[in-house]
Structure 1
Amino acid sequence: MRDGLVRIDEAFSEHIAEQARAILWEATGCDPDDRSSWTRPVVRLNQFSQAPFQEAANTPKLRTAFDQLVGTGRWFPRDRLGTFPVRFPSEGSPGDDGWHIDVSFGDEHPDFMEWRANISSKGRTLLRLFLFSDVGVDDAPTRIRLGSHADVARQLAPAGEAGLTLRELAADGFAGSANRREALAVGKAGTVYLGHPFLVHAAQQHRGTEPRFMAQPPLMPREPISLCRLDGNYSPVEQAILNAISPR
């Protein structure tokens, strides 16, 4: 509720990660032993449902964490993982490294900057980052502004259920969270970061030597996030929003 982020080490095994990477390498069209084939800073892959991905997404450790953060029975298990932005060592900017949140509805619009988020985070209960390769500080780890979920909650609150588009949210470059402490999503293969859906984050240039394999699937709600529970049984995700928008 304070930082908007938890890190889970050994959320799935390195063996599962290795099996998944073999599938992902083939899907990239690149040769792991031929660096001349690594011609793009990022290759985007989508929706893998083979056994290693299903196993990684549904370990007992992760399922317990989902229950703790979102509420037992309030989320849908995943039978696949996607998207995978596979980042390769590059001398230039990847072109997609701006600060943002992952908007969660309105994706029928052809312009992704018109996709939306609202105060009840319609369509998404968690931001999730699954590391399928070892990620160090030079390997394009995701940059995360700790505590920024509170800033975004206050930005979204006046817009109600309609919410705001990503273009509206990003109009000032997420200046409201610019002074927040920054963390990097580093760790061994098998590490998973679970973040509040309003957490401001960004990609960055890969300055290392080996490609970074990471999945960023949302956790989907079985029931909507509620900011008005008669029994007061709020999840930490819900309570964090209430803490941010309650009068001080």
Structure 2
Amino acid sequence: MTTTGQPALSAAQIDAFVTDGFVRLDAAFPRELADQCRAILWRATGLDPDAPQTWTRPVVRVGDIALPPFVAAANTDRLRSAYDQLVGIGRWQPRGSLGTFPIRFPSPDDPGDAGWHVDMSFGWEDNPSDFLSWRVNIHSRGRALLMLFLFSDVGEDDAPTRIRVGSHADIARQLAPHGDNGMSLRELAVDGFAGSRHRPEMLATGAAGTVYLCHPFLVHAAQPHRGKQPRFMAQPALLPDPASGGDASDDNSPVQVAIRLALK
């Protein structure tokens, strides 16, 4: 629950998550926190926010930053309530940071990382340098949610993440025959994620402070930046609590309900 005692997500929003594979939470964290985090990220890039001539690469990646503004952004009352609603009370770990930040700059160049994909959730221990060998299984071992945190205002021209609406169901059907071992990104991507090509596409736009909470199987992609101001975003996983056995959520959670419906 939030400090007001009201759940963060309505029943309609939870139904939309099950059907579409994501829910948008506006004002999930305060704009003031987004501004603080963005200032820290600008310093980490070594670039000048007032000198666009220094923005020479289409994407700059900044590593994990476990400073208080980022921790606070990831753990607001609204977000914690939404995590409980989508994954299950006691089934997830609080975030101590927000992972890598792919900061996208206006550029005519191909960023080189704009292919459709699903985020993998285990297997890097065996092959840390071969990300195509990393895996995901039908239980979403090691990942409870995919999350998109917007730290700048993101419009349609500002390289918003592309989402294939409902594609989590297609991935669930692909994964189901492979059981606990799951599939690697190399195996899933062999056809360019053609199995979800028929799905409608939407853009993860919004004001700074917006968070998209996504099913772990949602197919999504980056894109070139055609706007004027850099886009600041984090895309961390919500991790399962180890006591839960490492799977995404309990059987009655919206994450698992979506998987079961896909397999009917």
TM-score by length of 1: 0.95
Q: Distance in 2 between matches of 1:225 and 1:37?
A: 44
| Number of the residue aligned with 2:90 | 73
> 1:170 is paired with a residue of what secondary structure?
helix
Residue 244 (1) aligns with residue 256 (2): no
Residue 6 (1) aligns with residue 23 (2): yes
TM-score by length of 2: 0.90
Residue 171 (1) aligns with residue 193 (2): no
> 1:113 is paired with a residue of what secondary structure?
helix
> 1:158 is paired with a residue of what secondary structure?
helix
Question: Where do 1:1-248 residues align within 5 Å?
Answer: 1-108=18-125, 109=127, 110-222=129-241, 223=244, 224-225=246-247, 234-246=252-264
How far apart are residue 226 of structure 1 and its match?
A: 7.0
- Contact 1:8/1:192 (<8 A) preserved: yes
Q: Distance in 2 between matches of 1:128 and 1:173?
A: 22
- Contact 2:87/2:248 (<8 A) preserved: no
How far apart are residue 85 of structure 1 and its match?
A: 0.3
The amino acid of 1:130's aligned partner reads F
Q: What root-mean-square deviation, in Å, do the aligned CA atoms of Structure 1 and Structure 2 show?
A: 1.1
> 1:186 is paired with a residue of what secondary structure?
coil
How far apart are residue 157 of structure 1 and its match?
A: 0.6
Q: Distance in 1 between matches of 2:98 and 2:20?
A: 25
Which aligned segments of 4 or more residues in structure 1 are displaced greater than 2 angstroms?
224-227
- CA deviations 1:214-240 (Å, max 9, x no partner) are 00010000123379x7xxx51000111
- Contact 1:5/1:196 (<8 A) preserved: yes
**Number of aligned residues:** 242
Q: Distance in 2 between matches of 1:62 and 1:131?
A: 14
- CA deviations 1:126-164 (Å, max 9, x no partner) are 010000000000000000001000000000011111111
Gaps of 5+ in 1: none
- Contact 1:25/1:31 (<8 A) preserved: yes
Q: Which has the higher helix share?
A: 2
Q: Distance in 2 between matches of 1:182 and 1:133?
A: 22
> 1:123 is paired with a residue of what secondary structure?
coil
- Alignment identity in percent? 64
> 1:171 is paired with a residue of what secondary structure?
helix
In structure 2, the CA distance between the partners of 1:77 and 1:226, relative to structure 1 (3 Å rule), is closer
The amino acid of 2:109's aligned partner reads G
- CA deviations 1:172-231 (Å, max 9, x no partner) are 11111001011100000000000000000000000000000000010000123379x7xx
How far apart are residue 92 of structure 1 and its match?
A: 1.8
The amino acid of 1:132's aligned partner reads F
Gaps of 5+ in 2: 1-17
Q: Distance in 2 between matches of 1:112 and 1:212?
A: 25
> 1:160 is paired with a residue of what secondary structure?
helix
- CA deviations 1:90-126 (Å, max 9, x no partner) are 1021110000000010113111011110101111010
Q: Distance in 2 between matches of 1:174 and 1:80?
A: 30
